[in-house]
Structure 1
Amino acid sequence: MKRKNLALFAALAMGFLACQSGENVTEEKVFIDTLTIDRHLSILASDDFMGRKPFTEGEEKTINYLSSELKGMGLKPGNGDSYFQEVPLVEITGEQSASMEVRGQGKALSFKSSEDVVFYTERVEEHVSIKDSELVFAGFGVVAPEYGWNDYEGLDVKGKTVIVLVNDPGFGSGDSTFFKGDQMTYYGRWTYKYEEAARQGAAGVLIVHETIPAGYPWLVVQSSWTGAKLNLDDANPPYKSAIQGWITRNTAVELFKAAGIQNYSSLAKTKGFKPLAMGLTASMGVQNKIKRDMSHNVVAMVEGTKRPDEYVIYSAHWDHLGVGEPVDGDSIYNGAHDNASGTVGLLTIAETFAKMEKKPERSVVFLFVTAEEQGLLGSAYYAQNPLFPITQSVANINIDGLPAYGEMKDLTITGYGQSELDDYARTEAEKQGRYVIPDPEPSKGYFFRSDHFNFAKIGIPALFASGSYESKEKGIEFIQKKTQEYQEFRYHQQADNYLPEVWDLKGIAQDATLLFNLGNRLANETYFPKWNEGSEFKAKRDEDMSLKQK
């Protein structure tokens, strides 16, 4: 009886959505084969592509391969007569001073670069430093009026260096109404903390790293925040703190002990927390090599037959970290999972659309963005310089890291509850005999860590979903073990390689098929999916759409 009721409810829900769309979509028979996936992966994740880093020979090989494949499929260029959107970037290769020197409270402390502290600058200057900059503990570095929270209240931090904690005050509180509990808000992201410190006029900002609330180990900080860093080459850049960086937990403990501050984490989570002067000063600097160049997003499209001026936009980032210091004789960050797998998934989706006899009624865009690993820069540039009108963009479907462990029982939606796209995803998952779950690790803030976030920020409903929780054949514990191994030993490491003898590509094919079906449905409807009530992105979309209708 319960099953019948559930089935009836599902049918009614689908009927409701069908009424919203105003039409029934004829489902396309889809076959995405693993041989094609293997062919693309073997090329894009090979040493020959040198880790696919922007501004390198690896970029040239990658974008030329993608554009050649898309052209060979018969897809139209997505930027006029070009398959490329130029993205102006500036590369800053910073050499940190050997240490961060701290003085005060009758003590002289020295913390080794890379081992204890990692710091860099986004200022386009040959030498950037802070000297004897006063240290201030600014809690989580959050100014959130809607939560009645201001970690900078009553303090002028101009010229000073703030130390802030990773994540946001709600993490570990056990209270889902305190910020969002263990679900990270944007206030918990390192990007926000740097932005807010700059708005406050701080000369420096250092985030205390802890693996669980950060979502990644110190090794990732060492690999991702050292060496050459890319930024958008803005003619009128906003103010940036001179020094941005991270310190280990052990470094933080030593600093707070020297400052006489106890239980710093508990203090920061207390309502009404006030920033604390630490009675210490810090000095450090970075010597930079600066290079300006042009990177590229790759874009192709299928033009809609009835509503060509409405667009469903797929995205995946093609880049990774390039070449670094050798580890066990391997210096190339091949980025097989992150994100050759997603790039290949999008290529197979594009090919499936290209082969359709009956083309979709709306236009479908395939956008391969650059410099995601450097801070979502390619998608940020697209968001600032969209090739297709924002109010005519129906949705974004982003692909970043597809499962290499065979078919999955789940479809995990990162940012579950944000928009009506969840309903579309659930419908397609059920057709494959799968269930939908929210991200089981919401504290890691994955919704803010891939390119869909830049589409969300400009109001376009965005979906980020893949199988990642339960293997169809081997269960939950198998995936948990594989995920842990990847996070500890492969994520942003040279060990993220394509292993044909180990990888089971049926999971990539399964997800690509689902996401094709979802996009095809959107591309044959008249309905524009909406953000749900309570989403922080709803107001922007509502405002844009209301202006469009005037």
Structure 2
Amino acid sequence: MKKYLNLVAPIAVILPAIALSGCDTPQSGTPHQAAQPQGFEQAYQSISSEDLRQYTKVISSDEFEGRSPTSPGEKKTLDYLTSEFKKLGLQPGNGDSFLQPVELLEITADPDITLNIGDETLPYGENMMLSTSREQELVELKDSDVVFVGYGINAPEYDWNDYAGLDVKGKTVIILVNDPGFENPDSGKFQGKTMTYYGRWTYKYEEASRQGAEAAIIVHETEPASYGWSVVANSWSGPQYGLVKQNGNMDRVAAEGWIAHEVAQNLFRHAGFNFEEEKAKAMQGPYSQALNIKASATIKSTLKKSDSYNVIATLPGSSAPDEHIIYTAHWDHLGKDPSLKGDQIYNGAQDNASGTAAALTMAKAFASLDTPPARSVSFLVVTAEEQGLLGSKYYADHPIIPLAKTVANINMDAMNILGKTKDVTVVGKGKSELEDYLEKAAKRQGRYLVEEDKPQAGYYYRSDHFSFAKKGVPALYAEGGSEPIDEATAQYRKRTSLITTGCYHQVCDEFREKWDFSGVQQDTQLLFEVGYDIANSTDWPQWSKSSEFQRPAQ
């Protein structure tokens, strides 16, 4: 479960408003067959399973201690990555440095928190989670009026505003998870079952903050959330990370959290309302209802600031070096847990030593070209993805390469270790013209594009490419599909899935010699060709008209 910091305006409003000066007027267009300098085919074929295997094995080894930000494992990881990029012949991406400092704020809430709301006294963890993103050791919520605000969405392009005519300053808002299309897919509202960013819990806290609310609490329901209560409880306990901000994040709601579905039902009943009836009204159109009850809570937190680093390396373009294609991956994972018996290291082999390995292997292929691509190609390997996309968010807020000169972002996160596939899964399929380039490269491999199997889970908003998308830079996230290339691969896939299923964010996500890296190779070659074609094109790929993101107006 991922945490992000707040935007400063509704997504539909902020993207066109971002001023990106100095950019040539982007031209829409589909990919064309670029004139390929001698060496493309050799570079493409040089992307080997063995390189990918070796990089993954090294980066996920115990020596790197689980790669937790600000830990000794980070220092070892940074030293390794900068050394490898130097060996490959890439240049430092940040002046004379391969590193970009990222100042992190660690907030650990005292679990002795009680939320008093109406007639309910809710203990921390069991069916209520509460914390703060503010840089404050003590946050108090006192007799705050409670208002149900439906889905908590302000989306002009969908003609939807749950806050219309409502003053929630100083109040506590109760919000439904997901967006109005999920449970009413035939209504024509939003994008049906496919979640928009308005359905993500991160957006709901951001919007509540913009509206001036004092606290924002989301009602958890497993199906629309796409995960159970245990995920909420595990993700929101212990240290939580954010970026250090000059204002101490005081523009954020003071308290943010979750309550379980049954708690909401009891709460509404005691307030004289039926939760399911109120939810049904909220599904039909913008809706709010004062509950005529109060909320109080005290949150005590321990604060700690520390520095972590993004890694950025660049292969300068041969004729348009100021224009960049940026590949992203995250180097971090969850570190060590000394309280565990036996294995204490979260090695993060698939998530995301494999994506970092793909970045290094791809950099090697680009560096081997006889003639560099026309545009520059940069590799941004970020920190603190697991803490809420913080490294990529910091970069997007403090770009080294101007966003106006960033043609596209291509993301690599948790590569396919289950063998070659006939299909390519496009997360957030239909969002941009980058998929035209992807389709061309997929056809070269005899593959076809498919939608992710759970678009309602909103995975497009849960990895580092999203930090670029929020700023209007077209961003692609594609990965191995689900249809094995042959029967032998199908049998391997079944065997391996039995071992790896359930290893997400667990100590069992560790390198295995029996892993088949041919699927990782296949996808790395695929994304190499996408970036190569864009880098040798004069096109500026655009978002689709149905996307909630758009390039800023020039």
TM-score when normalising by structure 2: 0.87
Q: CA deviation at 1:65?
A: 1.6
Q: Is the 8 A contact 2:182 2:456 kept in 1?
A: yes
Q: CA deviation at 1:22?
A: 7.0
Count of aligned positions:
519
Counterpart of 1:320? 333
Match of 1:268 among 258, 282, 286: 282
CA deviation string 1:464-497 (max 9, x = no partner): 111132222358999799889967x333334433
Q: CA deviation at 1:324?
A: 4.3
Q: CA deviation at 1:534?
A: 3.0
CA distance in 1, matches of 2:47, 2:256: 44
Match of 1:154 among 165, 170, 175: 165
Structure 1 vs Structure 2 CA RMSD:
2.6
Counterpart of 2:100? 85
Counterpart code for 1:77 = P
CA distance in 2, matches of 1:358, 1:49: 35
Percent identity of paired positions between Structure 1 and Structure 2 = 46
CA distance in 2, matches of 1:240, 1:203: 8
TM-score when normalising by structure 1: 0.88
Q: Is the 8 A contact 2:37 2:371 kept in 1?
A: no
Counterpart of 1:99? 114
Counterpart code for 2:265 = V
Aligned partner of residue 240 in structure 1, secondary structure = coil
CA deviation string 1:227-252 (max 9, x = no partner): 22221111134511111112222332
Higher RCO (CA-CA < 8 Å; seq separation 6+): 2
Are 1:511 and 2:506 an aligned pair?
no
Counterpart code for 1:257 = R
Q: 1:324 to 1:280 in 2, by over 3 A?
A: farther
Are 1:363 and 2:376 an aligned pair?
yes
Counterpart of 1:466? 479
Match of 2:188 among 177, 185, 189: 177
Q: 1:511 to 1:123 in 2, by over 3 A?
A: same
CA distance in 2, matches of 1:24, 1:358: 9
Match of 2:64 among 40, 49, 53: 49
Counterpart code for 1:68 = S
CA distance in 2, matches of 1:476, 1:409: 11
Q: CA deviation at 1:176?
A: 6.8
Greater CA drift, 301-310 or 23-32? 23-32
Matches within 5 A, 1:18-417: 23=35, 27-29=40-42, 30-104=45-119, 109-175=120-186, 177-236=188-247, 237=249, 239-262=251-274, 263=276, 264-273=278-287, 275-324=288-337, 326=339, 329-417=342-430
CA deviation string 1:500-532 (max 9, x = no partner): 33x322211111111112111222222222222
Q: CA deviation at 1:82?
A: 0.4
Q: 1:149 to 1:363 in 2, by over 3 A?
A: same
Unpaired segments ≥5 residues, structure 1: 1-15
Aligned partner of residue 284 in structure 2, secondary structure = coil
Q: 1:272 to 1:191 in 2, by over 3 A?
A: closer
Q: CA deviation at 1:18?
A: 6.0
CA distance in 2, matches of 1:507, 1:404: 6
Counterpart code for 2:290 = A
Aligned partner of residue 94 in structure 2, secondary structure = coil
CA deviation string 1:394-440 (max 9, x = no partner): 21111111111011111111122222111110111111111101223
Match of 2:536 among 521, 524, 547: 524
Q: CA deviation at 1:51?
A: 2.6
Q: 1:208 to 1:492 in 2, by over 3 A?
A: farther
Aligned partner of residue 51 in structure 1, secondary structure = coil
Q: Is the 8 A contact 2:146 2:291 kept in 1?
A: yes
Q: Is the 8 A contact 1:22 1:526 kept in 2?
A: no
Q: Is the 8 A contact 1:220 1:491 kept in 2?
A: no
Q: Is the 8 A contact 1:327 1:494 kept in 2?
A: no
Q: 1:172 to 1:234 in 2, by over 3 A?
A: same
Q: Is the 8 A contact 2:150 2:286 kept in 1?
A: no
Aligned partner of residue 86 in structure 1, secondary structure = strand
CA deviation string 1:310-336 (max 9, x = no partner): 211111111223334756644433322
CA distance in 2, matches of 1:117, 1:483: 33
Q: 1:455 to 1:73 in 2, by over 3 A?
A: same
CA deviation string 1:287-342 (max 9, x = no partner): 22212222111011111122212211111111223334756644433322222221
Q: 1:484 to 1:230 in 2, by over 3 A?
A: farther
CA deviation string 1:261-292 (max 9, x = no partner): 2214323212242x223343333332222122
Q: Is the 8 A contact 2:118 2:293 kept in 1?
A: yes
CA distance in 1, matches of 2:324, 2:130: 41
Are 1:453 and 2:453 an aligned pair?
no
CA distance in 2, matches of 1:34, 1:276: 57
Q: 1:478 to 1:215 in 2, by over 3 A?
A: farther
Q: Is the 8 A contact 1:133 1:159 kept in 2?
A: yes
Aligned partner of residue 537 in structure 2, secondary structure = coil
